Structure formats: structure tokens, C-alpha cells
Amino acid sequence: MLDVHASRTASSLQTGAAAGRWTIGDARKIYNLPFNDLLFRAQSVHRAHFDPNAIQMSRLLSIKTGGCAEDCGYCSQSAHYPTGLKASKLMEVERVVAEAQKAKDGGATRYCMGAAWRSPKERDMETIVAMVEGVKALGMETCMTLGMLTPTQSERLANAGLDYYNHNIDTSERFYSEVITTRTFADRLETLANVREAGIKVCAGGILGMGEAIDDRISMLVTLANLPAAPESVPINMLIPIPGSKLADQPPVDPIDFVRTIALARILMPQSHVRLSAGRTEMSDEMQAFCFFAGANSIFVGEMLLTADNPGEDHDSALFRRLGLKPMALQAVQPEPAE
């Protein structure tokens, strides 16, 4: 149970987020609090909205790999960089659904499907819709990341039952052009607006370690928190330097700075799932534990993300046992009734 001070702290922070009044200055002050005070605030907010010992588990599958026309400097799948990754065709629906069933059997409650596209072509939409319907029929939450979406595409995916759409803003508006030049920051926000308007939940976060300043990380989180509605899921990635990519030689992120960013995300977006996403293979168990204490309550499970390594189920299960964590139960997601 929270003490009076913690309750008041959590209440005031919730009020600021709900009103959409976060400024860079306010967020910077929170970020720069003494570490123990920052973690106390973040944990207080977290406990006001979530079971502090429950972690939401998602599984990610690349349904179409490589050959992307975008020049995202962090990505192994960009056709602009000699990363050695071969392009593949869009996966068959039956295989995607079979992989989703395996993920569900392994404890995942949300299934995320990603395609390396600037945006989906009309000829692929029927297959994409069938994937969403097939995974929904298993009783799982569905998520997709397909690049930019038009309002019509967003509506079609919503009608198929898509629960979440992932479209990261990656970094601050100021630093964005240092990482990507083939689409703008405004393009990212437009897709998020199209998805939200269609009634799909938003999954949007960013990447740390691309050469950005700490203020860029703060600005990215303030942008997300001040959207008309904060994203329901906020993945925070640590850059995995890909040989051949533009950002291959970036130095690693300071662990304390990373934990501070997780804590700020929790405070600015109290009701969002904050996902400890790419880069966990480079994090110690102790660093991950700090992230969970700071308010991270979602991870990807399995040995692979889209193209990068991820800690396997055995390692995650062992860490969960050591920390007394448990998988978050799936709520209000049922298979669609047969007609």
C-alpha cells in the first residue's frame, strides 16, 4: 500500500498527464531528480495503475523481411545499407497463424507482425487482413507494423479486428532528420492519427543510443505523452548497432540514463504499457530489474525480434523467478464467434 506522500505524488502526476500539459522543462526536471527519488515516483505511478509484478508478454514475427525503401539509419532491413540481409516475400497466412499458436502456447498474449515496407501495397492488404483475422481467432491480441498507413488502410485493418498498430516516432523532431530522410516526423504523426481515428490502439515509442542528446529523449516522450491520447503501448528500444548500417559505430547507452528514460516514460504516460524492447540481450539482469522497477511492464519473448537476437524463454523465465514477476493475464480478448 502506498503511503500518503506516494499517493499524492502519483495523483499530481496523473493529473498533469491527463491534462496534456507536459513541457520539456517539466519533464527535464523529473528526469534529473536524484535517482532514488525518480524511481520512487515512477514506481508510485506504476502501482496506481498496474500490478507491479505482472509483465505483459508479446511475440514478434517478421512477415516480410528486408528490401525496405526507407533509409532508417538503425535498420538492418533498409535497402540503402550493405547489412547482408536478404529480402523475402510476404509470408503465407497459414504459417503466420501456426507461429501465433506456438507463441500463445508459450505464454504470449499479444502477437505482433511486422513487414519491411514504406507502406503496404493494395495487393497485399487481403493477405494482411487474413493474418489479423486468423490470429484473432486464436484469442490473442493482434498488432502490426507495416509502415505508413492511409485512413482507408487503417479502417480496413480496424474492421478486421486489429487491436494495436506499431509506428515508432524513433526520436525527437529535432534529431529525426539525422536518422531518417525518406519520410518526415510529421509523416509518422499522421499515420498515428489515422490509426487512432480508425479505432485501433496505438503502439509508439523510440530508440535510445542513436547519437541523440538526453533532451531529444525527453522531447520524444513529451511528444508521445501530449498526443490527443497517449499510446497504449510505448516500446523503448536500445540501439542494436547493425554492421553496415549508418549507426553501426554508435557507443552503448549508459544504463542509468536508460533506466531514467524508462522512469520518465512511466510518469508521463501512467496508463500505458511501457515495453522493454530491442537491446535486452545487451542488458544485465540487474539493468532489466531496474527497468521493471522504474515502470517497464511489457517485453517481447522468444529468441528473435524482427531480425535481431532476443533473450530466449529460458533466460526470461529464470529472471522472472528471481524477481518474483509473473506474466500478465490476457483480458477481454476472446475468439470471434463463428458465423
CA distance 139 to 94: 16
112 is catalytic: yes
Annotated catalytic residue: which of 72, 110, 188, 291?
A: 72
CA distance 146 to 122: 12
Annotated catalytic residue: which of 41, 112, 156, 217?
A: 112
CA distance 62 to 112: 9
Q: Is there a binding annotation on residue 291?
A: no
75 is catalytic: yes
H, E, C per residue of 296-313: CCEEEECCECCCCECCCH
Annotated catalytic residue: which of 156, 188, 217, 275?
A: 275
Annotated catalytic residue: which of 41, 59, 183, 203?
A: 203
291 is catalytic: no
List 208's β-bridge partners, or say none: 238
Name the phi and psi angles at 203, rounded to 5: -120, 110
Annotated catalytic residue: which of 75, 110, 188, 280?
A: 75
Asked if residues 116 and 62 have their Cβ atoms less than 8 Å apart, the reply is yes
Q: Is there a binding annotation on residue 143?
A: yes
In degrees, rounded to 5, the angle at the alpha carbon of residue 263 between the alpha carbons of residues 259 and 269 is 145
CA distance 272 to 274: 6
Q: Is there a binding annotation on residue 41?
A: no
68 is catalytic: yes
DSSP 177: G
Annotated catalytic residue: which of 143, 156, 260, 291?
A: 143
Name the phi and psi angles at 334, rounded to 5: -125, 155
CA distance 223 to 234: 12
In the chain, the amino acid numbered 249 is: D
Which residues carry a binding-site annotation for [2Fe-2S] cluster? 112, 143, 203, 275
Catalytic residues: 68, 72, 75, 112, 143, 203, 275
Which residues carry a binding-site annotation? 68, 72, 75, 112, 143, 203, 275
Which residues carry a binding-site annotation for [4Fe-4S] cluster? 68, 72, 75
